[in-house]
A and B are shown apart, each in its own frame.
Chain A
Amino acid sequence: MIGKWKMAVKTPFGEEKYHLAIETVSPFLSGKIWTDMGSASFENGKYDNGNLEIGFNVDTPQKAQITIRGTHTKASVITGTVQVDEYPTLDFKAEYNNDNI
Protein backbone atom coordinates (compact mmCIF):
# COMPACT_ATOMS: atom_id res chain seq x y z
CA MET A 1 0.00 0.00 0.00
CA ILE A 2 2.67 2.50 0.95
CA GLY A 3 3.94 4.27 -2.11
CA LYS A 4 2.64 6.09 -5.13
CA TRP A 5 -0.42 5.23 -7.16
CA LYS A 6 -1.88 6.41 -10.43
CA MET A 7 -5.57 6.96 -9.97
CA ALA A 8 -8.21 7.34 -12.70
CA VAL A 9 -11.66 8.67 -11.78
CA LYS A 10 -14.57 8.12 -14.17
CA THR A 11 -16.72 11.24 -14.42
CA PRO A 12 -19.72 11.89 -16.68
CA PHE A 13 -17.47 14.21 -18.68
CA GLY A 14 -14.63 11.72 -19.10
CA GLU A 15 -11.82 10.21 -17.11
CA GLU A 16 -9.64 12.32 -14.84
CA LYS A 17 -6.22 11.25 -13.61
CA TYR A 18 -4.79 11.87 -10.16
CA HIS A 19 -1.64 10.91 -8.28
CA LEU A 20 -2.09 9.31 -4.89
CA ALA A 21 0.72 8.90 -2.38
CA ILE A 22 0.09 6.73 0.67
CA GLU A 23 2.62 7.47 3.36
CA THR A 24 1.33 5.51 6.36
CA VAL A 25 -1.26 2.76 6.80
CA SER A 26 -1.27 2.22 10.55
CA PRO A 27 -2.62 3.45 12.85
CA PHE A 28 -4.12 5.76 10.20
CA LEU A 29 -3.91 6.11 6.45
CA SER A 30 -2.12 9.28 5.54
CA GLY A 31 -0.74 10.80 2.40
CA LYS A 32 -1.47 13.16 -0.43
CA ILE A 33 -3.52 13.32 -3.62
CA TRP A 34 -2.64 15.71 -6.39
CA THR A 35 -2.93 16.84 -9.99
CA ASP A 36 -1.31 19.66 -11.91
CA MET A 37 -4.07 21.91 -10.54
CA GLY A 38 -3.51 21.35 -6.84
CA SER A 39 -3.11 18.93 -3.99
CA ALA A 40 -4.70 17.86 -0.74
CA SER A 41 -3.35 15.92 2.20
CA PHE A 42 -5.14 13.41 4.37
CA GLU A 43 -4.09 11.96 7.70
CA ASN A 44 -6.93 10.16 9.43
CA GLY A 45 -7.87 7.55 6.86
CA LYS A 46 -8.87 4.03 7.82
CA TYR A 47 -7.57 0.74 6.47
CA ASP A 48 -9.05 -2.55 7.60
CA ASN A 49 -8.90 -5.96 5.97
CA GLY A 50 -8.37 -4.58 2.48
CA ASN A 51 -10.93 -1.78 2.78
CA LEU A 52 -9.86 1.82 2.95
CA GLU A 53 -11.63 5.10 3.60
CA ILE A 54 -10.04 8.50 3.20
CA GLY A 55 -11.76 11.80 3.91
CA PHE A 56 -10.58 15.37 3.60
CA ASN A 57 -11.90 18.87 2.98
CA VAL A 58 -10.96 21.31 0.25
CA ASP A 59 -11.66 25.03 -0.09
CA THR A 60 -11.03 25.35 -3.82
CA PRO A 61 -12.41 25.27 -6.43
CA GLN A 62 -15.35 25.03 -4.02
CA LYS A 63 -15.68 24.15 -0.36
CA ALA A 64 -16.33 20.44 -0.30
CA GLN A 65 -15.78 17.25 1.59
CA ILE A 66 -14.16 14.46 -0.40
CA THR A 67 -14.58 10.83 0.60
CA ILE A 68 -12.66 8.02 -1.08
CA ARG A 69 -13.73 4.45 -0.34
CA GLY A 70 -11.87 1.57 -1.89
CA THR A 71 -10.89 -2.05 -1.76
CA HIS A 72 -7.32 -3.19 -2.09
CA THR A 73 -8.14 -6.39 -3.93
CA LYS A 74 -4.81 -7.05 -5.55
CA ALA A 75 -1.36 -5.95 -4.45
CA SER A 76 -1.17 -3.43 -7.23
CA VAL A 77 -4.81 -2.34 -7.62
CA ILE A 78 -7.32 -0.37 -5.55
CA THR A 79 -10.87 0.09 -6.85
CA GLY A 80 -13.68 2.06 -5.31
CA THR A 81 -15.58 5.31 -5.33
CA VAL A 82 -14.97 9.00 -4.82
CA GLN A 83 -17.74 11.19 -3.45
CA VAL A 84 -17.99 14.98 -3.18
CA ASP A 85 -20.28 16.01 -0.32
CA GLU A 86 -23.46 13.94 -0.71
CA TYR A 87 -23.41 13.85 -4.51
CA PRO A 88 -23.46 10.64 -6.51
CA THR A 89 -20.31 8.56 -6.24
CA LEU A 90 -17.79 8.24 -9.06
CA ASP A 91 -15.84 5.03 -9.70
CA PHE A 92 -12.06 5.00 -9.62
CA LYS A 93 -9.23 2.58 -10.17
CA ALA A 94 -5.74 3.12 -8.79
CA GLU A 95 -2.66 1.22 -9.90
CA TYR A 96 0.58 1.02 -7.97
CA ASN A 97 3.12 3.09 -9.79
CA ASN A 98 5.93 3.77 -7.38
CA ASP A 99 8.66 3.87 -9.97
CA ASN A 100 7.06 6.19 -12.49
CA ILE A 101 5.94 9.29 -10.62
Chain B
Amino acid sequence: MTIYNIPIRSIDGEENALLPYEGKVTLMVNVSSKAGYDPKCSRFWSYARTCRQFWQLQKVHDEFKDRGFSVLAFPCNQFAATEPGTNEEISAFVKEYYPFVTFPFFEKVDVNGKNEHPLFSALKGNEKRNYSDTAADQSDAAQSGQNLVGQAIARIPHGYEKFIVSGDGRMISRFNWQDMPLDEVPRVMGAGWTIREALDEILG
Protein backbone atom coordinates (compact mmCIF):
# COMPACT_ATOMS: atom_id res chain seq x y z
CA MET B 1 0.00 0.00 0.00
CA THR B 2 1.54 3.29 -1.08
CA ILE B 3 0.30 6.80 -1.60
CA TYR B 4 -0.54 5.82 -5.16
CA ASN B 5 -3.14 3.36 -3.86
CA ILE B 6 -5.18 6.12 -2.22
CA PRO B 7 -8.49 6.26 -4.07
CA ILE B 8 -8.99 9.44 -6.03
CA ARG B 9 -10.69 10.14 -9.34
CA SER B 10 -9.25 11.86 -12.36
CA ILE B 11 -10.96 15.10 -13.27
CA ASP B 12 -12.93 13.09 -15.84
CA GLY B 13 -14.20 10.70 -13.16
CA GLU B 14 -11.90 7.73 -13.67
CA GLU B 15 -11.49 5.78 -10.40
CA ASN B 16 -8.12 5.05 -8.73
CA ALA B 17 -6.46 7.49 -11.04
CA LEU B 18 -3.18 7.61 -9.11
CA LEU B 19 -2.39 3.94 -9.65
CA PRO B 20 -0.84 4.39 -13.12
CA TYR B 21 1.79 6.66 -11.55
CA GLU B 22 3.09 4.11 -9.06
CA GLY B 23 6.78 3.65 -9.84
CA LYS B 24 7.12 7.17 -11.22
CA VAL B 25 8.46 10.22 -9.47
CA THR B 26 5.65 12.77 -9.30
CA LEU B 27 5.18 16.40 -8.38
CA MET B 28 1.77 16.69 -6.74
CA VAL B 29 0.42 20.23 -6.59
CA ASN B 30 -2.81 21.80 -5.41
CA VAL B 31 -3.86 24.19 -8.16
CA SER B 32 -6.55 26.71 -8.92
CA SER B 33 -7.25 27.86 -12.44
CA LYS B 34 -8.31 31.31 -11.23
CA ALA B 35 -5.42 31.87 -8.83
CA GLY B 36 -4.70 35.48 -8.08
CA TYR B 37 -8.18 36.48 -9.10
CA ASP B 38 -9.74 38.95 -6.73
CA PRO B 39 -12.04 41.86 -7.55
CA LYS B 40 -9.38 44.17 -6.07
CA CYS B 41 -6.60 42.73 -8.23
CA SER B 42 -5.87 43.18 -11.88
CA ARG B 43 -7.67 40.55 -13.92
CA PHE B 44 -4.90 40.70 -16.48
CA TRP B 45 -2.21 40.00 -13.90
CA SER B 46 -4.28 37.36 -12.16
CA TYR B 47 -4.38 35.44 -15.41
CA ALA B 48 -0.67 36.01 -16.03
CA ARG B 49 0.11 34.81 -12.52
CA THR B 50 -1.85 31.60 -13.01
CA CYS B 51 -0.31 31.10 -16.44
CA ARG B 52 3.13 31.43 -14.89
CA GLN B 53 2.49 28.57 -12.47
CA PHE B 54 0.95 26.29 -15.10
CA TRP B 55 3.56 27.20 -17.71
CA GLN B 56 6.48 26.39 -15.45
CA LEU B 57 4.85 23.18 -14.20
CA GLN B 58 4.40 22.14 -17.82
CA LYS B 59 8.05 22.92 -18.55
CA VAL B 60 9.33 20.60 -15.81
CA HIS B 61 6.76 17.97 -16.81
CA ASP B 62 8.12 18.07 -20.36
CA GLU B 63 11.76 18.18 -19.26
CA PHE B 64 11.61 15.12 -17.00
CA LYS B 65 8.71 13.00 -18.30
CA ASP B 66 10.97 10.71 -20.32
CA ARG B 67 12.87 9.88 -17.11
CA GLY B 68 9.73 8.57 -15.39
CA PHE B 69 8.20 11.76 -14.02
CA SER B 70 4.84 13.48 -14.11
CA VAL B 71 3.25 16.58 -12.65
CA LEU B 72 -0.12 15.71 -11.08
CA ALA B 73 -2.56 18.58 -10.46
CA PHE B 74 -5.29 18.66 -7.81
CA PRO B 75 -7.76 21.54 -8.06
CA CYS B 76 -8.68 23.08 -4.71
CA ASN B 77 -11.07 25.87 -3.80
CA GLN B 78 -9.82 26.48 -0.25
CA PHE B 79 -7.64 29.50 -1.05
CA ALA B 80 -9.65 32.66 -1.74
CA ALA B 81 -12.23 30.60 -3.62
CA THR B 82 -10.08 30.61 -6.73
CA GLU B 83 -11.38 27.28 -8.01
CA PRO B 84 -15.15 27.59 -7.69
CA GLY B 85 -16.28 25.40 -10.59
CA THR B 86 -17.20 21.76 -10.90
CA ASN B 87 -14.70 19.23 -12.21
CA GLU B 88 -16.27 19.56 -15.65
CA GLU B 89 -16.07 23.35 -15.54
CA ILE B 90 -12.47 23.32 -14.33
CA SER B 91 -11.48 20.90 -17.07
CA ALA B 92 -13.13 23.03 -19.75
CA PHE B 93 -11.63 26.25 -18.37
CA VAL B 94 -8.11 24.81 -18.31
CA LYS B 95 -8.44 23.46 -21.85
CA GLU B 96 -9.66 26.82 -23.14
CA TYR B 97 -7.39 29.23 -21.31
CA TYR B 98 -4.28 27.15 -20.56
CA PRO B 99 -4.14 25.08 -23.76
CA PHE B 100 -0.44 24.34 -23.31
CA VAL B 101 -1.15 22.16 -20.24
CA THR B 102 -0.88 18.41 -20.84
CA PHE B 103 -0.13 17.09 -17.34
CA PRO B 104 -3.04 15.24 -15.71
CA PHE B 105 -5.68 16.80 -13.47
CA PHE B 106 -7.55 15.01 -10.70
CA GLU B 107 -10.86 15.66 -8.99
CA LYS B 108 -11.28 18.82 -6.93
CA VAL B 109 -10.33 18.22 -3.29
CA ASP B 110 -9.86 19.91 0.06
CA VAL B 111 -6.23 19.92 1.17
CA ASN B 112 -6.75 21.17 4.76
CA GLY B 113 -9.39 20.76 7.43
CA LYS B 114 -11.88 18.14 8.40
CA ASN B 115 -12.75 17.29 4.80
CA GLU B 116 -9.20 17.16 3.50
CA HIS B 117 -8.52 14.35 1.09
CA PRO B 118 -6.51 11.42 2.51
CA LEU B 119 -3.92 12.00 -0.20
CA PHE B 120 -3.10 15.40 1.26
CA SER B 121 -3.15 14.04 4.80
CA ALA B 122 -0.50 11.58 3.67
CA LEU B 123 1.51 14.19 1.78
CA LYS B 124 1.56 16.52 4.78
CA GLY B 125 2.59 13.64 7.02
CA ASN B 126 0.37 12.39 9.80
CA GLU B 127 3.34 11.91 12.09
CA LYS B 128 4.00 15.66 12.00
CA ARG B 129 0.45 16.62 12.80
CA ASN B 130 0.26 16.22 16.58
CA TYR B 131 -0.56 19.94 16.64
CA SER B 132 -2.94 19.55 13.81
CA ASP B 133 -5.37 22.01 12.36
CA THR B 134 -8.31 19.86 13.34
CA ALA B 135 -7.17 17.57 16.14
CA ALA B 136 -5.47 19.98 18.53
CA ASP B 137 -7.84 22.90 18.28
CA GLN B 138 -11.54 22.24 18.62
CA SER B 139 -12.65 25.80 17.94
CA ASP B 140 -15.15 26.46 15.18
CA ALA B 141 -12.48 28.27 13.21
CA ALA B 142 -10.15 25.29 13.37
CA GLN B 143 -12.92 22.86 12.58
CA SER B 144 -13.82 24.83 9.50
CA GLY B 145 -10.23 24.70 8.38
CA GLN B 146 -9.54 28.39 9.03
CA ASN B 147 -7.58 28.19 12.26
CA LEU B 148 -4.91 30.86 11.94
CA VAL B 149 -3.64 30.67 15.51
CA GLY B 150 -3.02 27.00 15.99
CA GLN B 151 -2.52 25.89 12.48
CA ALA B 152 -0.16 23.03 12.02
CA ILE B 153 3.21 23.47 10.43
CA ALA B 154 2.02 20.87 8.02
CA ARG B 155 -0.94 22.92 6.92
CA ILE B 156 -0.93 24.01 3.29
CA PRO B 157 -1.11 27.81 3.38
CA HIS B 158 -1.69 28.68 -0.25
CA GLY B 159 -2.40 27.32 -3.69
CA TYR B 160 0.44 25.70 -5.62
CA GLU B 161 2.11 23.87 -2.72
CA LYS B 162 4.33 21.34 -4.46
CA PHE B 163 5.22 17.86 -3.16
CA ILE B 164 7.78 15.66 -4.88
CA VAL B 165 6.90 12.01 -4.32
CA SER B 166 9.10 9.01 -5.07
CA GLY B 167 7.96 6.06 -7.16
CA ASP B 168 7.34 4.06 -3.98
CA GLY B 169 5.16 6.78 -2.56
CA ARG B 170 7.45 8.62 -0.15
CA MET B 171 7.13 12.39 0.06
CA ILE B 172 10.68 13.55 -0.67
CA SER B 173 10.50 17.31 -0.78
CA ARG B 174 7.95 20.06 -0.31
CA PHE B 175 7.92 23.52 -1.90
CA ASN B 176 5.57 26.42 -1.40
CA TRP B 177 3.78 28.55 -3.98
CA GLN B 178 6.69 30.95 -4.27
CA ASP B 179 9.06 28.13 -5.22
CA MET B 180 8.60 28.21 -8.95
CA PRO B 181 9.42 25.11 -11.00
CA LEU B 182 12.03 26.90 -13.10
CA ASP B 183 13.71 28.79 -10.26
CA GLU B 184 17.49 28.71 -10.57
CA VAL B 185 18.17 29.33 -6.88
CA PRO B 186 16.21 28.08 -3.87
CA ARG B 187 13.87 30.58 -2.27
CA VAL B 188 14.21 31.53 1.38
CA MET B 189 11.17 29.49 2.28
CA GLY B 190 12.06 26.66 -0.05
CA ALA B 191 13.50 23.26 0.66
CA GLY B 192 17.15 24.18 0.14
CA TRP B 193 17.25 22.96 -3.40
CA THR B 194 15.31 24.00 -6.43
CA ILE B 195 12.55 21.86 -7.87
CA ARG B 196 14.64 21.03 -10.92
CA GLU B 197 17.68 20.18 -8.77
CA ALA B 198 15.51 17.91 -6.64
CA LEU B 199 14.00 16.14 -9.64
CA ASP B 200 17.35 15.71 -11.32
CA GLU B 201 18.82 14.13 -8.18
CA ILE B 202 15.83 11.94 -7.35
CA LEU B 203 15.46 10.70 -10.92
CA GLY B 204 19.18 9.87 -11.05
Contact = CB atoms under 8 A, between A and B. Distances in A.
A87 B53 CA distance: 11
Interface in B30-54: 34, 37, 42-49, 51-52
A36 B99 CA distance: 31
Contacts, number: 49
B55 interface: yes
Interface stretch (A11-19, A21-29, A40-48, A93-101): A11-19
B47 A64 contact: no
By size class, the interface of chain B is: 10 to 19
Interface residues of A, number: 19
A16 B42 CA distance: 7
Contact of B98 (A13, A37, A88): A88
A86 interface: yes
B44 A62 contact: no
Given A64-B48, A85-B48, A87-B52, 16 more contacts: A11-B46, A12-B97, A13-B34, A13-B43, A13-B46, A13-B47, A14-B43, A16-B42, A16-B43, A62-B45, A82-B44, A84-B51, A85-B52, A87-B51, A88-B99, A90-B47
A88 B100 contact: yes
Contacts of A64: 48
